Structure 1
């Protein structure tokens, strides 16, 4: 009896194991022709700390920045599978404003083909091809970008990043205002694209929405691979620093390639951002 009982238990255990595996396999299968949504969540920070507008952060340049604004444009989103297959989100819908002050922190993608994605690619700013389509073709996004101080005039185009506040430095007296407006101009194209590996596969399924949680490091803008001192760029009146063109923007564009990292992927969601 004991022998038969042990055999029965063993058989039941094996049956449960195979059923469980089958269940897992079924839940991970991709139904051909189906789609789901994907949400990108941008968690703004400064050198490992959360970004709190109005708070002060000191960088390796010895300058202390009180950040009052961090707005930027994310565009041309591409999801990539392990075999290199790419899904390019429709260009007309692939421009998003991310704003710390406006609490716009997500880019929501709809009708993404079901599949397992291992990389994410996107642009920082607005590419020349889109800009040259003209104002009428992008009026809705232009208006949104204007609302969040991410445009100049139409002839001069978009600000890709608007980073502002005040700072103190050992090299200047008192607190000064700063503005860093990253964008393209007639001399240089400062649009950049980044490709990031996902630490966990993003499983897009019908009725399930993976949330890709990115961390953005505002410190990298001035204190990345290249170091830019605000005090070195102060105006002649010694009242403020405004970086809006020239070689500094090319240097900043290089820094921003390292501004983003994917922290984690939350699979199986069906609503807005989840930690």
Structure 2
């Protein structure tokens, strides 16, 4: 019988992987210890990867070339199967995610060791945090401003900054679009989203649990509510801007469908 060393090596590697994964799965929780959780955001458009500058046609019959997708995620809560929650410290719980700036992850530190089955996160900055005042959040305000995620202090944060150009049957010549989602004096557009994890996030000392989100930018305009850029043109007919009003409330509802958890990786590394 001919000996195939390559097959033997493959079998050994497979067996080692099974042993490691099995050991990982049953690793006990050491009380009083903590680990890290990475939230990784993979931006896409209707199932395709988001490539800035590339064109995508949505269900509204408009072709968008996206050149900016920035958003704020916040107020993370990790939830166990029994319903008990770990609320991440509020002062540390605000992150800018930027396709333009290649900011794709939020790192949560000192998470109590345990097995978590759900996550809740906010999209934007909640009213309670905003009302703490500028001094209490100066460093995050400065970070957000650097990614075009603020107006003036009196008008607050942009929760989503979604920009580019578009064409349609009505507007065959390229037009600029800007969607800036935020709260205002009349409407609170901050939203929280709770998602089940497809596999348990096992937080252990010295290890990293990585939760991989798929983010669908198409949902902003082409979600439960269908919002046409061509119906939101300025008086000059040169650009479409959505920064307030009823459509912004509809967009806030759409963004509840913008995030999904694709997979969870437990261990020392965080491949995506």
Aligned pair count? 253
Q: Find the aligned partners of 1:181 and 1:244 in 2 and give their Cα distance.
A: 5
Shift of 1:129: 0.2
| C-alpha contact (below 8 Å) 2:24/2:267 kept by paired residues | no
Q: Does 1:199 align with 2:167?
A: no
The answer for unaligned runs of 5 or more in structure 2 is 1-18
Q: Find the aligned partners of 1:24 and 1:169 in 2 and give their Cα distance.
A: 55
Structure 2 counterpart of 1:222 = 221
Structure 2 counterpart of 1:184 = 183
Cα distance change, pair 26–243 in 1 and its aligned pair in 2 (3 A): closer
Cα distance change, pair 159–110 in 1 and its aligned pair in 2 (3 A): same
Structure 1 counterpart of 2:240 = 241
Shift of 1:173: 4.2
1:143-162 correspondence runs (5 A): 143-162=142-161
Q: Which stretch of structure 1 is more off in the superposition, 234-243 or 166-175?
A: 166-175
| C-alpha contact (below 8 Å) 1:211/1:269 kept by paired residues | no
Superposition RMSD on alpha carbons, in Å? 1.5
Structure 2 counterpart of 1:112 = 111
Q: Find the aligned partners of 2:114 and 2:46 in 1 and give their Cα distance.
A: 34
Shift of 1:169: 1.1
Structure 1 counterpart of 2:266 = 267
Q: Find the aligned partners of 2:268 and 2:57 in 1 and give their Cα distance.
A: 37
Give SS of 2:221's match.
helix
Give SS of 1:184's match.
coil
| C-alpha contact (below 8 Å) 2:116/2:202 kept by paired residues | yes
Q: Find the aligned partners of 1:91 and 1:66 in 2 and give their Cα distance.
A: 35
Runs of 4+ displaced beyond 6 Å: none
Structure 1 counterpart of 2:10 = none
TM-score normalised to structure 1 length? 0.90
Cα distance change, pair 128–26 in 1 and its aligned pair in 2 (3 A): closer
Structure 2 counterpart of 1:232 = 231
Q: Find the aligned partners of 1:237 and 1:144 in 2 and give their Cα distance.
A: 33
Cα distance change, pair 266–153 in 1 and its aligned pair in 2 (3 A): same
Q: Find the aligned partners of 2:163 and 2:25 in 1 and give their Cα distance.
A: 50
Q: Find the aligned partners of 1:73 and 1:152 in 2 and give their Cα distance.
A: 14
Which of these two proteins has the greater Rg computed from alpha carbons? 1
Structure 2 counterpart of 1:65 = 64
